[in-house]
Homo-oligomer: A and B are copies of this chain.
């Protein structure tokens, strides 16, 4: 890996402090006694991230055997009825927020060993001697976030539904704002490049913690893959280390994220210092193109993320994302006054845009992807965002895909963010608002306190992981309404 200790030092100095708040469950529990096999479900009233301490005691005879308890944390109540033993998906069961604890001596104060993301906590007595019952004397959560609640931009639009969607989106972002912008506080608890970009956009409109974005950009630029590619994500512990996962789109989105940051903050020093990293992402991406100027398709799982629709062919999306990020690079080069770079990038952009128009469109003007010329929403959206088609033509394209029943759909709020973005970019604001209402509003109607990593209204139980028990229900890439509502649909 390629480390820039100066960048990492700069990042460390900018990382936020965590704000702590002590909370208790709303559910009454004092006086409840629990026998073997019984359980207690506690509702904390909202989504929180933190550690939990309990004071446990007993009624009856002096405990003559250890109490054996299971603690199950859930972001949504429905998770409590899911059985960890029945999950056989491909990501680790280690993510399931469940602990088994033995308590030798009662009364006891115990601190559960990890940080959890939760609204609900179920305490189940796996076994207990029949000589006593367990009682819960107190439960406290030490919750953490680096978001400053006092700094949150208010949003009042005389529309209760939109206000609620905004509130849930801000809650989502808040919960994911920890030492870095985490993708999700349940899972993966990490700084992912693609997620960061959307979080940063929402943050500019809400909590406005610019330094935190800057810190994250320096982290990602400070430990790259050996060839200088920005990794898909970064670990903070036990020391800062880039993941060895490389994704075509995530590396490129560093350029867009830097452009966003600079355009909001006008922080020229950062732009200048991180420009070589941004430029390097474009250079590296160039190697992916074939002689026609089209991104080479790949069989490698996850070579380019785009969305969690596992059937999606990524080629056309990748082409659009590349163009989108080259545009961002041009903006950056121009802002920095590096005109030779800007010129070169303009030529590159024109060439790859032309190739897309030549090779990735079918007879009806829809973009297709891969050898099997797959139709998908993602391909159209990224072509619009990449500027391959614009204005009325773009609007027509986004309308046309709606009528293609066989087109591969989107399953993540992450991809739907870019759909809304594409709609706005071609003047379809009403349609964009309708999507915010139906998609994010749909989650609110399902009881979301925070927005979910995945939401396919046509298949609410969908999970790309082989089981919903490892799904994250507070996922920052889903906080789009905080950005769009505040920026485009204010009073």
Contact = CB atoms under 8 A, between A and B. Distances in A.
Interface of A: 36, 61-62, 64-68, 90-96, 99-102, 104-107, 113-114, 126-130, 187-188, 190, 235, 237-238, 241, 243-245
B129 A92 contact: yes
A62 B236 CA distance: 11
A407 B105 CA distance: 41
A473 to B, nearest CB: 17
B65 A92 contact: yes
A114 B102 contact: yes
B92 A36 contact: yes
**Copies of this chain, count:** 2
Contact of A94 (B66, B241, B245): B66
A126 B93 contact: yes
Contacts of A91: 65, 129
A188 B65 contact: yes
Nearest to A115: B104
28 contacts: A61-B243, A62-B241, A62-B243, A64-B188, A64-B190, A64-B235, A65-B91, A65-B95, A65-B188, A66-B94, A66-B95, A67-B92, A68-B94, A68-B96, A90-B130, A92-B128, A92-B129, A93-B127, A94-B102, A94-B126, A94-B128, A99-B102, A100-B100, A101-B113, A102-B114, A104-B114, A104-B237, A105-B237
A205 to B, nearest CB: 30
A113 B67 CA distance: 14
Nearest to A68: B94
Contact of A129 (B66, B94, B101): B94
Contacts of A113: 101-102
A228 to B, nearest CB: 19
A106 B126 CA distance: 29
Contacts of A94: 65-68, 102, 126-129
A132 B68 CA distance: 31
Contacts of A93: 68, 126-127
Contacts of A126: 93-94
A238 B244 CA distance: 50
Contacts of A237: 104-105
A49 to B, nearest CB: 14
Contacts of A130: 90
B114 A244 contact: no
